[in-house]
């Protein structure tokens, strides 16, 4: 059944509209970040990059960056490991509680994150752990490790178990099979899971809100400034955070390709 | 082989079980325990008196829950209608453009939701991106776009857009073209194809998308706070207030337990209905 040209055109137009709808607020922040005046009104009369200089000099901003980065890096590493094994249990091995395991993994994703953050705060309090950026790592993992599992699982579903069986028939041990067959095959899934983990942790707000204690992440600081009165640094730091995640994404997308090309050339 | 699979399955699930036991199960147990404690205590060494639960009705907290559920329901319905054509395009029509949309939508997810909502405040506020430019060019602006109930629904639709779009697209891609072709050859109208072929066959995707959007929207705070300007107080906001300003952990926990029970009920019911292997594209 062919879609008529009119319908196709309408659908494309709709798709472009949807993208505009998604990015309009980010564009608004972008404009706001280069406005010269302290009190923002549109249309912007004078453009200036002074707030970027201000933000880069600020000790607060660099502390925020370091905290967010520490959390995101550890969350990424742990989620990749947990997600890799979780995905095997999720998609590959036929074991007794597989379907239960699949459902349990979905539960935290279907959970209000702010409530989860509060529950974690009470739990840390009950066992006498002082909230800091380290507890925020635990909090991020509740939500991000299951998502990573799902991402690796998509890859694991399309994987032919005969490959593992062949290796086993030729006498490879379970560990060798994991290292030489399973891991290389799931590698692309693990890498994209890591990318998701990093970026989701970097941008997460509701889970950090109650669990970072005296430390503060970028999204938390931005939120605090948004509700307690406008600061011209808010759009600037917001855009810097967006640009940072964009750079990470681009590196992850294109670095492997460049490296491959480099090694082919040499 | 089967024996080995069983053992390996269990061992590879272990790290995840450890993570979830520490960061999901244990906190939930603590919340439930706190919810039955006497008012305003900060540890669990007290005799439970269940005093927080009557407040849910006496102090009108049930209204906040109803608001949350109502807003979540409205935004889920709107999301379904808004996302369907796009998801259809992504699954059946676009080809390369699907990749562009997918990357663009996923990228927007990586921007913290409060930054994006703040962007809408800048866009819609008086003297904002839209109003300011309209004033400057035509002399008439839009007034009062912010701080009302519809704008909260708008915010929810905006934030949870990807959570409806991707499952829907996945669901629609599971509808075989042959089935639609056959229906069309047999003289079915477009509306009939949608009703009799597309909707039933894409049901798993519809289910996951609606469930995700509803559940996440029901527990959302930032939309009503940033865009709604406290016009209405949603239940998750009440929970937060009880903890922070109220300094009343048992009350906050009791409200959280009620919210968790309602949302968890929906989530468990929905998760049980779907075939996870099928929707994630299991080939064997």
Contact A41 B222 (CB under 8 A): no
Domain membership flag for residue B101: yes
Domain membership flag for residue B188: yes
Which of A58, A34, A38 lies closest to A48, judged by CA? A34
* Residue B81 near chain A (CB below 8 Å): no
Domain membership flag for residue B45: no
* Residue A189 near chain B (CB below 8 Å): no
Domain membership flag for residue B147: yes
Residue with tokens 């201000």: A54
Of A29, A95, A241, the CB nearest to B10: A95
With beta carbons less than 8 A apart as the criterion, state whether B214 and B156 touch. no
Of A25, A96, A150, the CB nearest to B6: A96
Q: Which of B87, B122, B224 would you mutate first to test chain A, the one with the most A CBs within 10 A?
A: B122
CATH number for B178: 1.10.3720.10
User: In this predicted structure, what is the pLDDT of residue A51?
Assistant: 74
Domain membership flag for residue B179: yes
Which domains, from first to last, does chain A contain? 1-48 (no CATH), 60-265 (1.10.3720.10)
Domain membership flag for residue B13: no
Contact B259 A139 (CB under 8 A): no
* Residue B253 near chain A (CB below 8 Å): yes
User: In this predicted structure, what is the pLDDT of residue B284?
Assistant: 47
Distance, CA of A195 to CA of A249 (rounded, Å): 7
Per-residue pLDDT band at A264 (split at 50, 70, 90): low
Helix, strand, coil share of chain B (percent; to 5): 75, 0, 25
Closest approach of B279 to chain A, Cα-based (Å) = 10
Sign of CA dihedral B199, B202, B204, B206: negative
Mean pLDDT by 10 residues, chain B (284 residues): 77 88 89 84 76 80 89 94 92 86 86 86 81 79 78 92 89 85 87 87 87 88 82 85 84 89 87 78 58
Contact A29 B239 (CB under 8 A): no
Contact A119 B27 (CB under 8 A): yes
Q: Which of residues 124-143 of B touch A (CB under 8 A)?
A: 127-133, 136
Per-residue pLDDT band at A1 (split at 50, 70, 90): low
User: In this predicted structure, what is the pLDDT of residue A19?
Assistant: 92
Domain membership flag for residue B249: yes
- pTM score, two decimals? 0.87
Per-residue pLDDT band at A266 (split at 50, 70, 90): low
Of A31, A32, A106, the CB nearest to B271: A106
Contact A94 B9 (CB under 8 A): yes
Q: Tell me, what's the ipTM?
A: 0.84
Domain membership flag for residue B47: no
Tens of pLDDT, residues A20-75: 999 999 988 888 887 766 667 777 767 777 777 777 777 778 888 888 888 999 99
Range of the domain at B126: 58-280
For chain B, the domain total comes to 1
* Residue B269 near chain A (CB below 8 Å): no
Tens of pLDDT, residues A39-48: 677 777 677 7
Distance, CA of B68 to CA of B153 (rounded, Å): 10
Closest approach of B198 to chain A, Cα-based (Å) = 13
What value does the CA radius of gyration of chain A take, rounded to a whole number of Å?
23
What value does the mean pLDDT take over residues A241-262? Answer: 79
| pLDDT surpasses 50 at A183 | yes
Of A15, A25, A88, the CB nearest to B101: A15
Q: Which of residues 155-214 of B touch A (CB under 8 A)?
A: 158, 161, 177, 180-181, 184, 211-212
User: In this predicted structure, what is the pLDDT of residue B23?
Assistant: 87
**Mean pLDDT over the full length of chain A:** 83
Tens of pLDDT, residues B79-130: 999 999 999 999 888 888 888 898 888 888 888 888 888 888 888 887 777 8
């Amino acid at each position: 059944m062919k879609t008529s040209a009119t319908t196709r055109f309408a659908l494309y137009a709709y798709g472009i509209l949807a993208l505009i709808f998604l990015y309009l607020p980010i564009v608004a922040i972008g404009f706001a970040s280069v406005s010269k005046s302290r009190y923002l009104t549109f249309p912007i009369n004078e453009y200036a990059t002074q707030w970027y200089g201000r933000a880069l000099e600020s000790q607060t901003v660099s502390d925020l960056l370091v905290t967010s980065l520490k959390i995101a890096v550890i969350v990424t590493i742990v989620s990749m490991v947990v997600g890799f094994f979780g995905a095997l249990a999720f998609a590959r091995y036929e074991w007794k509680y597989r379907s239960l395991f699949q459902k349990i993994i979905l539960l935290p994703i279907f959970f209000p994150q702010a409530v989860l953050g509060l529950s974690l705060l009470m739990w840390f309090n009950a066992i006498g752990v002082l909230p800091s950026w380290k507890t925020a790592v635990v909090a991020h993992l509740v939500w991000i490790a299951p998502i990573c599992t799902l991402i690796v699982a998509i890859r694991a579903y399309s994987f032919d178990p005969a490959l593992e069986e062949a290796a086993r028939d030729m006498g490879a041990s379970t560990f060798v099979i994991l290292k030489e067959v399973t891991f290389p095959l799931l590698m692309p899934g693990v890498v994209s899971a890591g990318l998701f983990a990093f970026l989701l942790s970097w941008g997460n707000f509701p889970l950090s809100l109650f669990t970072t204690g005296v430390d503060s992440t970028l999204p938390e600081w931005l939120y605090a400034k948004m509700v307690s009165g406008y600061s011209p640094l808010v759009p600037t730091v917001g855009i810097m955070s967006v640009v940072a995640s964009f750079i990470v994404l681009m590196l992850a997308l294109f670095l492997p390709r460049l490296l491959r090309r480099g090694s082919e050339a040499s | 082989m089967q024996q080995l699979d069983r053992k390996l399955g269990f061992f590879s699930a272990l790290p995840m079980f450890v993570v979830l036991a520490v960061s999901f199960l244990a906190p939930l147990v603590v919340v439930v325990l706190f919810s039955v404690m006497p008012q305003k205590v900060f540890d669990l060494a007290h005799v439970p008196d269940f005093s927080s639960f009557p407040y849910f009705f006496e102090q009108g907290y049930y209204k906040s829950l109803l608001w949350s559920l109502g807003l979540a329901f409205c935004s889920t319905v709107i999301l379904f209608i808004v996302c369907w054509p796009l998801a259809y395009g992504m699954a059946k029509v676009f080809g390369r453009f699907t990749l562009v949309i997918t990357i663009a939508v996923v990228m927007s997810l990586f921007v913290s939701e409060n930054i994006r909502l703040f962007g809408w405040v800048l866009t819609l506020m008086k003297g904002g991106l839209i109003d300011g430019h309209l004033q400057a060019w035509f002399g008439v602006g839009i007034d009062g776009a912010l701080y009302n109930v519809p704008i909260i629904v708008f915010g929810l639709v905006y934030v949870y857009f990807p959570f409806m779009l991707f499952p829907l697209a996945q669901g629609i891609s599971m509808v075989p073209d042959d089935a639609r072709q056959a229906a069309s050859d047999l003289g079915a109208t477009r509306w009939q194809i949608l009703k009799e072929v597309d909707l039933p066959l894409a049901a798993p995707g519809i289910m996951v998308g609606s469930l995700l959007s509803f559940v996440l929207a029901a527990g959302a705070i930032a939309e009503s706070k940033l865009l709604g300007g406290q016009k209405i107080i949603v239940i998750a906001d009440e929970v937060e207030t009880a903890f922070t300003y109220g300094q009343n952990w048992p009350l906050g926990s009791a409200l959280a337990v009620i919210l968790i029970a309602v949302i968890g009920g929906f989530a468990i019911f929905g998760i049980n209905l779907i075939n996870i292997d099928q929707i994630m594209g299991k080939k064997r």
